[in-house]
A and B are shown apart, each in its own frame.
Chain A
Amino acid sequence: MHVKEFKIKWGMVIDIDKCTGCGACMVGCQVENNIAPMTKSDPYNYAQALTKDRDDASNKLRTLTWMNVYELSNGKAFPEHETAYLPRPCMQCGNPACVPVCPVVATDKNEEGGIVSQIYPRCIGCRYCMAACPYHARYFNWWDPLWPEGMDKGLSPAASVRPRGVVEKCNFCHSRYMEAKNQARMDGEDPMNLSEGAYTTACQEICPTGAIHFGDLNNPEHAVHELHKSPNAFRLLEKLGLSPQVYYMSEREWVRKQGDNYNAGGSGH
């Protein structure tokens, strides 16, 4: 297991007990990162008429959802039945499965902060990284990105749009990180020691119940530093040794058990 360590380690601690499954994080992410909605027809492509329609958003295996909320069930019948919701961004693994497999270094983990990058102009679209990631955090642009008339006016100038045929994924709103560092420089502060809240992700900001905590896991002044050490904290598939920078918290044992094939706490294979 080769975990890449950095002085700054941006991470999330998501309190599953607070998550209502409202999906606001998914919407916030979609808007912040210019994620193309799914449109059935493409008015600019006449050849589309020769074949089937494009997929609309009802095909959940084709949609682009950098942040995706999963529904968990304890599997028991009423009245013992319980559900929980688990928002799943990119785990920004310390030992990512996706990075070493990319044939063209279109994804890397080499920047202070430990965010796994995705370089759209370099991606050849082989989808090997998607096959490698067990969290399904990576998404492919199956069709030309298209915004319905008028929606293109709402695109964010901070995040680049992606062409058809490349892979994309959550990058902890990296443009916000750049902005926060610039702001710190302008304010005469150290951009490598951002204070709590100076850099936030869209999903964290929009979450109505405050279930998503975000910060530098290595910085004792950030809340996540303590939170991720909680006895109720766990990571998904810890046993595989990918060492995610996203932690989950739940007081319910059955939720914690769903994180790792009943084998959490292992040192990694």
Chain B
Amino acid sequence: MDSKLFPEGVQRCGFGQFLIWTAVILGFFTWGLYSAVLVLYNGIGTTGLDNYFGFGAWITFDLAVIALGAGAFFTGLLKYILKIKQLEKIINLTVVVGFICYSGAMLVLTLDIGQPGRAWFGYWHPNVHSMLTEVIFCITCYCTVLIIEFIPLVLEQKQWNKIPFIHALAHNMHINMALFAGLGAFLSTFHQGSLGGMYGVLIGRPFAFREGFFIWPWTFFLFILSAVGSGPVFTVLVCGFMEKLTGKKLVDFKTKALMGKIAGTMLCVYMFFKILDTWAWANGYLPSVGLTFDQMFYGVIYGKWLLWTEIVLCGVVPAIMLITPAIRNRPALLYTAALLDCFGVCVNRYIFTVQTIAFPVMPFDAWQTYAPNWVEYASSIMIVAYGFLVLTLVYRYLPLFPQERELN
């Protein structure tokens, strides 16, 4: 029915099957939309957040997807600026995944702030000292860059591309893409850092506070490193998932292994500094404010196991796996390492968001615990469903994988 819209020379599932798949996605999306309407109409009181936990599942989700979306800027940087040609086989997917992650994060933020109508105040009344101002600037600007990077792919749709003007426009945008890749790398590096800086500057929160270099706390650099250490393999995971789902080979394994090598290298650098930072925090900063490492943890919900899971199981282990060619070059192990890596960065973002504010700073105060309720889950699932929907449409109608024809 819609086969004339498919990319050149590839097969897609039947229209009926496509409709059923889309309907399932829309089912989840609608559930999330209902929760989003409740939040916007009734207020954020509908969530599980409270005065102790002003940040919760939404902020964790935002930070995690932004870190995982880092594949877009980092791969763009390596492909367009450092000219690693092999990455062109996966670059389109990294851009689309990046776009989904960033636009999704912005949608969640719209729900998360109490006055969404005032979101533009970040530009109108900016506080240049706030890390969050930089985050607002960079995320919105970088999302625009991702849209610009996404447009040529849309213009290359088979039917549209027959129009000479659109063909020429797409071609010219491609030629100048290095400029946007550079701009994107700059913006993205800064806001990945600012997201970490947001926690590192909290002088009143010993769990997160870090000293640093000039105005940037160490968490600034750690967040950049952890994002580039996990974003590229998240794209590999998305690609692998799509291959399983469609039963086709979409990107050759060599490219995936290269992405694994890139992420693994960055993850090694990250783990080195993360362990150093944790050690310095536990032995330097905490004692200086009359606290101990043990006091930072509580029960099972905020126990040390979280930190060890993040650093050892989902940090050191995947780092070793990804830099060892013998392990990296076996698909099952590459995907396992990628899963651990991505899970680790999510745990890191959760710890920095929730445990930071769960720790009772006043000596007579008590630990409080936080659990998101269905409204927060549903609205986050809405964003995941939105991602599925975008990828479904892009895969069906746009030339996402340049290698697809030769591999199948």
Contact = CB atoms under 8 A, between A and B. Distances in A.
A73 B366 CA distance: 12
The residue in A61, A102, A125, A241 that gathers the most chain B C-beta atoms within 10 A of its C-beta is A125
A147 B121 CA distance: 29
Contacts of A261: 289-291, 363
Contact of B201 (A50, A73, A101): A101
B204 A132 contact: yes
Contacts of B51: 61-63, 130, 136, 138-140
A134 B55 CA distance: 14
Main secondary structure of the interface of B (DSSP, over half): loop
A236 B362 contact: yes
Nearest to A47: B41
A72 interface: yes
Nearest to A54: B45
Contacts of B206: 240
Contacts of B122: 103-104, 124
Size class of the A contact interface (CB-based, 8 Å): 35 or more
Interface in B50-84: 50-52, 54-55
Contacts of A241: 203
Q: Is the interface of A mostly helix, strand, loop or mixed?
A: loop
B115 interface: yes
A55 B204 contact: no
Interface string A116-138: 00000011111110111111101
B307 interface: no
Which of A71, A103, A167, A236 neighbours the largest number of chain B CB atoms within 10 Å of its CB? A103
Interface string B88-124: 0000000000000000000000001111001101101
Interface in B362-401: 362-365, 368, 375
Interface stretch (B21-29, B131-139, B249-257, B333-341): B131-139
Contact of A101 (B49, B50, B132, B291): B132
A260 interface: yes
Contacts of B42: 45, 47-48, 51, 143
Interface residues of B, number: 53
Contact of A122 (B118, B198, B285, B365): B118
Given A103-B136, A132-B202, A165 B364 contact: no
A166 interface: yes
B356 to A, nearest CB: 7
A269 B285 contact: yes
A142 to B, nearest CB: 3
A144 interface: yes
B244 interface: no
Contact of A55 (B45, B127, B357): B45
A61 B375 CA distance: 18
Contacts of A142: 43-45, 49-50
Query: Which of A51, A59, A242, A258 has the largest count of B CB atoms less than 10 A from its CB?
Result: A51
B153 interface: no
A20 interface: no
B44 to A, nearest CB: 6
Contacts of B126: 103-105
Interface string B257-293: 0000000000000000000000000000100111100
Interface in A189-230: none
B344 to A, nearest CB: 23
B316 to A, nearest CB: 29
Given A124-B113, A141-B114, A236-B362, 16 more contacts: A45-B41, A61-B52, A70-B362, A70-B365, A103-B133, A125-B114, A127-B55, A128-B130, A142-B44, A142-B49, A165-B43, A167-B114, A237-B362, A240-B204, A241-B203, A259-B363
26 contacts: A51-B38, A61-B50, A62-B50, A62-B51, A70-B364, A71-B364, A100-B201, A102-B132, A103-B122, A103-B127, A104-B121, A105-B126, A124-B121, A127-B55, A130-B51, A131-B54, A142-B45, A143-B43, A165-B43, A236-B362, A239-B290, A240-B204, A240-B289, A259-B363, A261-B291, A263-B289
Question: Which are the 5 A-B pairs with shortest beta-carbon distances?
Answer: A125-B114, A165-B114, A263-B290, A127-B54, A261-B290
